[in-house]
Structure 1
Amino acid sequence: MLYSVLIKLFKVLFWLGRVKVEGRENIPAQGGVILAANHLSFWDPVVIAAVVNRKIHYMAKEELFENIFLASFFSRLNAFPVKRGLPDRKALKKSLVLLEEGKVLGIFPEGTRSKTGELSKPQHGIAMLALKGKAPVVPVACIGTKKIFPWGWFSPVVIIIGKALIYEEFYDAKVTTALLEGISKDIMDRISLLHNN
């Protein structure tokens, strides 16, 4: 309920702010899928959720759930906590259940917001989820969201959604550090291409 109300509100705000979207058709209409985006601003998950026609379940840093009221708020927005920089089996299990249920999982592979605007090296979690969840990964580039509020209301914001990446040939392969690094890098490279083009 809260998710739907807020998304409708932000759809109007972002329409007024002329947020441009490219490639919305690249998101599968059904089935489990991972949206992997670069992270520039607190507003990234909100903007993406407002321009995508499916409900997104986001991983969010554990610190946001330390306060009982904030924890309730973010949970009602379909977010769930993840420990940054550490293997988090609970978050991994939650993510895999969501994918198995045919839902959309939103992830920022860099693990934190970029302070410079440049894309950073990805964490391995995105690759692990793509393999264990046997789910397509849709790369998403956020451009201009760092200045969306409060002074940059008229700054151009563009969300570019790329074609789904499927790593089916590795689903039954032995999971090694090299494999996770390779897939994570490939995903981040695709996001970078969208971002820079």
Structure 2
Amino acid sequence: MSKLYATGQFVCRTFFRLFYRPEIIGREHIPKEKGVLMCSNHINNLDPPLVGAFLKRQTRFMAKYELFQLPVLKKLLPALGAFPIKRGSSDRQAMRSGLKLLKEGELVGVFPEGTRSKTGTLGKGLAGVGFFALRSDAAIVPCAVIGSYKPFSKIKLVYGSPVDMQPLRDRKASPEEATAEIMSAIQELLDKNQK
């Protein structure tokens, strides 16, 4: 973990503890060493720092390409380990980057819906997530962010048990099928942990 990332984690943890009273559940489900694809629902711009702030590993987030064009973020995001993806197309470079990180044993964070949910309900996942799950031997960890992000309200962050992708890998399932399996696991976490 880089010093910059560790500093950012500390700042984010402090921020969330001051304003959102976070409850963190299931960190033990994240393997300490091997490649991990962490798949979370997406309800707010604060999701990425929240999802990564309370872990002992650095999370390498896949983020929309447009963020890397903004003056401050274009240097900060790569320094924090994030990498870009062009939405709305098959971004082969992003796919190669993500697979390489997973094969190197990194923890890669993605938001399968590809954009924030305006209603707070879980949307349809994109096939690229299934591609990563099938083409790597990474642990696939579902994650659920639950709460409104209203200041001083409670926010809940739940990491679930890894989704067993081996049966789908063995029978060469489609990326869409793998994505559906992952989205089902995220929905299950949401259903079990809603207030």
> Does the alignment pair 1:82 with 2:85?
yes
Alpha-carbon contact 1:135-1:166 (below 8 Å) kept: no
| Number of the residue aligned with 1:65 | 68
Name the amino acid aligned to 1:4: A
Could you tell me the TM-score, scaled by structure 1's length? 0.91
| Number of the residue aligned with 1:41 | 44
Overall identity of the aligned pairs, in %: 38
| Number of the residue aligned with 1:137 | 140
Name the amino acid aligned to 2:187: S
> Does the alignment pair 1:182 with 2:177?
yes
Pairing partner for 2:189 from 176, 181, 194 = 194
Unaligned runs of 5+ in 2: none
| Number of the residue aligned with 1:22 | 25
Shift of 1:174: 4.0
Shift of 1:193: 1.0
Shift of 1:11: 1.3
Could you tell me the TM-score, scaled by structure 2's length? 0.91
Unaligned runs of 5+ in 1: none
Name the amino acid aligned to 1:161: Y
| Number of the residue aligned with 1:119 | 122
Query: RMSD value over aligned CA atoms?
Result: 1.4
Shift of 1:131: 1.0
Range with greater deviation from structure 2 (14-23 or 117-126) = 14-23
| Number of the residue aligned with 1:55 | 58
Q: In the superposition, relative to structure 1, how do residues 18 and 52 fare at CA in structure 2: closer, same or farther (>3 Å)?
A: same
Alpha-carbon contact 1:134-1:171 (below 8 Å) kept: no
Alpha-carbon contact 2:134-2:178 (below 8 Å) kept: no
> Does the alignment pair 1:168 with 2:132?
no
Q: In the superposition, relative to structure 1, how do residues 170 and 193 fare at CA in structure 2: closer, same or farther (>3 Å)?
A: closer
Shift of 1:136: 1.6
Alpha-carbon contact 1:33-1:135 (below 8 Å) kept: yes
| Number of the residue aligned with 1:159 | 157
| Number of the residue aligned with 1:11 | 13
Shift of 1:68: 4.9
Range with greater deviation from structure 2 (182-191 or 37-46) = 182-191
Alpha-carbon contact 1:128-1:180 (below 8 Å) kept: yes
Alpha-carbon contact 1:36-1:106 (below 8 Å) kept: yes
